[in-house]
Chain A
Amino acid sequence: MLESVSALAALAALLLCGAWLGSGLPGRWRVFPVACTVAVLLALGWLGWSVDAQLPGESAPQAHEGYAQSQTCGSCHSDHFTAWKKTWHRTMTQDPTDETVLGDFNNVTFDSLGTRFRMFRRGADFMMELDDTEGRMRSQVSRLVSWPEGPPGILTFRVDRLLGSHNMQAYLTRLSDGRIILLPLFWHPSEKRWLARTAAFLVPPGEGAMDYTALWNAACVFCHNTRAHAGYIVEGNRDLGFDTRFEEMGVACESCHGPGERHAQANQNPVRRYLMNLTGQTDKSIVSPLKLDPVKSVEACGRCHGKWHSNEHATMLRHVDDFIPGGPPLAERYHNVFATQLPTPELGHGEQMEPKAGFFWPDWTPQSTAMEHQGMILSKCAEKGGMTCLHCHSMHRSDPDNQLKVQDDNRKPFEEHNASCTQCHKALASAEAIEKHAHHKPEGTGGRCVACHMPYQGYGLLKSARAHRITVPQVALTVSAGLPNACTTCHVDQTLKWASAKMTEFWNTPPVAVDAENSVVPASVVDMLRGHALQRALAVLSLRRAAEEGNPWVQRTAPLLLDLMKDEPYHTVRLLSFYALRAQPAFRDATFEYMEEPQERARLVESLRERLPPTAVEAADRAPLVELPMLQKLRAQRDDQEIFVQE
């Protein structure tokens, strides 16, 4: 409306000025300005008509088309470009510079899992040196590339590229044949410390610092850059290495919007742009995930925020990952390596298998981050309600950390106001309705939809993550499948029996029979004592959150956390236990090296135990959190199955 009024006002002003200008001219020249104005308007109209005639046949971007680069996009879409520049997507891959390298390379040494590392500068270069006397790194790398024989000893690598910068920063080095491999240490920005890669993921004990590496050219490159050409070179049976390229470093505009060169060229014509705006036509020359149908919109994110592998991986390695958002369905050329085994026939075409620990809980809820797509497509909201990632997330109007969409008026994330959910569940939009539905105060964390329907059931990079399989809390599922329960991940001081009783009281769900331990011991404590490694990790992460929220009860768990720091076999769980302990007031400035040898760890833990407030010790003596026989019983039941959770 405003645009039309503006156009009419401009037209009137133009004609009036033309007529008035003519009044200053002699004789027949008086009509010249008006004639010129009309001629220009007619020419613009003709241009508009000719552009309009082309538009209906215009096709969506195709995988083979040219890419324009984000700088080109930014010349028109400056807001979106600026917003994208603040995201972690942009810094997924970077060249190492003084500004981009977060790790400490000031000639520091770091001992981890029996290996000494040294990080130092050589001129402008960032170097990582490691003592490979046992030859484990050489053996790992030799699986990826033919290395010339050499004596075990000190290996020195130059950092050639960086991977990530938010939760962790990883360091990559280029080998002689173009292969780029992941070096064994990560930098943990929030703690400002080095970590062995094997100690950042949830990895079974017994693995050395260098027992895992990854070939960036064949794995990371596809989702950490825009349109990657892996460039694997094979001649006959000869493996000649990689010549990897990408359209743009990091996850840039065209990762989500598809190749934009044709769009950029077409829109250099201002008549086309104004015609689009005035007529409200959709510009088909570029992909807008917001305007795609829900399945394709979710796939635009899910290609990387989900585990999908190409059906023709060998071809993809030699050429390019030709997925583009809005293009052919993901399932045509990629298989959801885990969801193909899902018990929903329409989603998969593989044989039915048991959910594999480390990837899925027994009910197929994903256990790790980067599998949000797998969780989401099992949600009723997506299956029946057409929910997409963009109902909650935004790439251009969001906080950079979780990319949760913010409200225009107060810049608060949608989910804090339940606005993501009440877009569809309108009956729950009012505070009164939420209180009645959730039986929690609407202004508190319990009044947020995600607290109950997206509980912390996933793990990745030393954090717990909300499940993206949106469900109704079920105590029965916790009993049968071991998933952390929505109620007791917040109410860490309560038992599963209590949770079952509350659910019966609030929502009339049938009571669930729980075992003796879960009748008297808080669920978080049960999980940390007898759960498997992932359950233990998630339990201590819940205790950390509760401590950070000021829940005084968690101080009672300090002795148990100290025990875990001393005796827990998984490195990562020891570290997470320390973080949970450090969140308590008495331990705020505590230090602990979780990778120390057991004897040294025991010494450190005993010195920390002296910090327990005397009142807490007395209270524990009078009324222990877990009676000794029960404690011993739970510890004896600990699930020691091997679990390996990556990102």
Chain B
Amino acid sequence: MSAPSGQHALLAFRHLRVGWWGLTVFLTVGLLLEALHGFKVGFYTQPANHWRREMWTLAHAHGGLISMVSLMFAQALGRPALGPAPVKLISNLLTSALVLMPLGFWLGGLAPSETDPGVGVLLVPAGGLALVAGVLLAAANLSPPDGEA
């Protein structure tokens, strides 16, 4: 594997940083959620707060998962197969997803109604679209190594 250069190197560094810090944040959030369970904090554990529990669990899970996607993207940036892809756009889409999805789930659990998560959950479909678009762009723009068609 050859070392990335120029824009790819900068983006790879950015995604390594975002990915590792993202994992740090969202794994810590997981610990906090476990603590809320452990100490039976009613704000989180009571049946009436099931939306909060569900939304914040999803925030933790999606944040961790998209952080790992970010790390994978950083690794892929060093490979020639991703050479011709619009990497800046993919990078922005993945980073937006990493912000929008966990934030949407978190806001959705902050002030839910009896029947629905809070209105902040509307960020989730926007983040989801960004994630799908980013992954799709990366998949569609892969090119085979030289000499292989």
**A contact set with B: CB distance below 8 Å:** 2-3, 6-7, 9-10, 13-14, 17, 20-21, 23-25, 37, 44, 76-80, 82, 267, 270, 273-274, 277-278
**Given A6-B119, A17-B130, A20-B92, A82–B110 Cβ distance below 8 Å?**
no
Name 17 extra pairs, CB < 8 A, besides A6-B110, A13-B100, A277-B119.
A3-B111, A7-B118, A7-B119, A10-B104, A20-B95, A21-B89, A21-B93, A25-B89, A37-B126, A44-B122, A76-B114, A76-B116, A79-B47, A79-B48, A79-B50, A80-B114, A277-B113
| Contact string against A for B residues 57-91, beta-carbon threshold 8 Å, 1 for contact and 0 otherwise | 00000000000000000000000000000101101
Q: Within the complex, which residue of B92, B103, B119 is in contact with A24, where a contact is CB–CB below 8 Å?
A: B92
B33 at the interface (CB under 8 A from A): no
Interchain nearest-CB distance for B95 vs A (Å): 8
Interface centre among B95, B110, B120 (most CB of A within 10 A): B120
Interchain nearest-CB distance for B98 vs A (Å): 10
Interface centre among A2, A17, A82, A270 (most CB of B within 10 A): A17
Main secondary structure of the interface of B (DSSP, over half): helix
Let me know if B114 and A270 touch, CB within 8 A: no
Let me know if A7 and B120 touch, CB within 8 A: yes
Let me know if B130 and A277 touch, CB within 8 A: no
User: B96: which A residues are within 8 A, CB to CB?
Assistant: 17, 20-21
Let me know if B99 and A17 touch, CB within 8 A: yes
Interchain nearest-CB distance for B54 vs A (Å): 10
**B contact set with A: CB distance below 8 Å:** 47-48, 50, 86, 88-89, 91-93, 95-96, 99-100, 103-104, 107, 110-111, 113-116, 118-120, 122-123, 126, 130
Q: Between A and B, how many residue pairs show CB distances below 8 Å?
A: 79
User: B89: which A residues are within 8 A, CB to CB?
Assistant: 21, 24-25
Let me know if A6 and B107 touch, CB within 8 A: yes
**Bound-state Cα–Cα, A273 to B130, Å:** 25
25 A-B pairs whose Cβ atoms sit less than 8 Å apart in the complex: A2-B111, A7-B118, A7-B119, A9-B103, A9-B107, A10-B107, A10-B123, A13-B100, A17-B99, A17-B100, A17-B130, A20-B95, A21-B93, A21-B96, A21-B130, A23-B92, A24-B89, A24-B92, A37-B126, A79-B50, A82-B47, A267-B115, A270-B116, A274-B119, A277-B119
Interchain nearest-CB distance for B88 vs A (Å): 4
Let me know if A6 and B111 touch, CB within 8 A: yes
**Bound-state Cα–Cα, A408 to B114, Å:** 16
Let me know if A13 and B115 touch, CB within 8 A: no
Q: Which chain A residue shows the least CB distance to B93?
A: A21
Let me know if B115 and A77 touch, CB within 8 A: yes
User: A3: which B residues are within 8 A, CB to CB?
Assistant: 111, 118-119
User: B114: which A residues are within 8 A, CB to CB?
Assistant: 76-77, 79-80
User: B91: which A residues are within 8 A, CB to CB?
Assistant: 24
Of all A-B residue pairs in the complex, the 10 with the closest CB atoms, nearest first, are: A24-B92, A2-B111, A76-B115, A24-B89, A10-B120, A17-B96, A6-B120, A24-B88, A277-B113, A3-B111
**Bound-state Cα–Cα, A139 to B92, Å:** 85
Q: Within the complex, which residue of A2, A14, A23, A78 is in contact with B123, where a contact is CB–CB below 8 Å?
A: A14
**Bound-state Cα–Cα, A6 to B52, Å:** 14
Interchain nearest-CB distance for B130 vs A (Å): 7
**Bound-state Cα–Cα, A610 to B110, Å:** 68
User: B111: which A residues are within 8 A, CB to CB?
Assistant: 2-3, 6
Interchain nearest-CB distance for A596 vs B (Å): 49
User: A23: which B residues are within 8 A, CB to CB?
Assistant: 92
User: B122: which A residues are within 8 A, CB to CB?
Assistant: 10, 14, 44
**Bound-state Cα–Cα, A518 to B91, Å:** 92
User: B126: which A residues are within 8 A, CB to CB?
Assistant: 14, 17, 37
**Given A3-B119, A6-B110, A24-B92, A13–B99 Cβ distance below 8 Å?**
yes
User: B119: which A residues are within 8 A, CB to CB?
Assistant: 3, 6-7, 10, 274, 277-278
Q: Which chain B residue shows the least CB distance to A78?
A: B50
User: A24: which B residues are within 8 A, CB to CB?
Assistant: 86, 88-89, 91-93
**Bound-state Cα–Cα, A270 to B126, Å:** 16
Interface centre among A13, A78, A267 (most CB of B within 10 A): A13
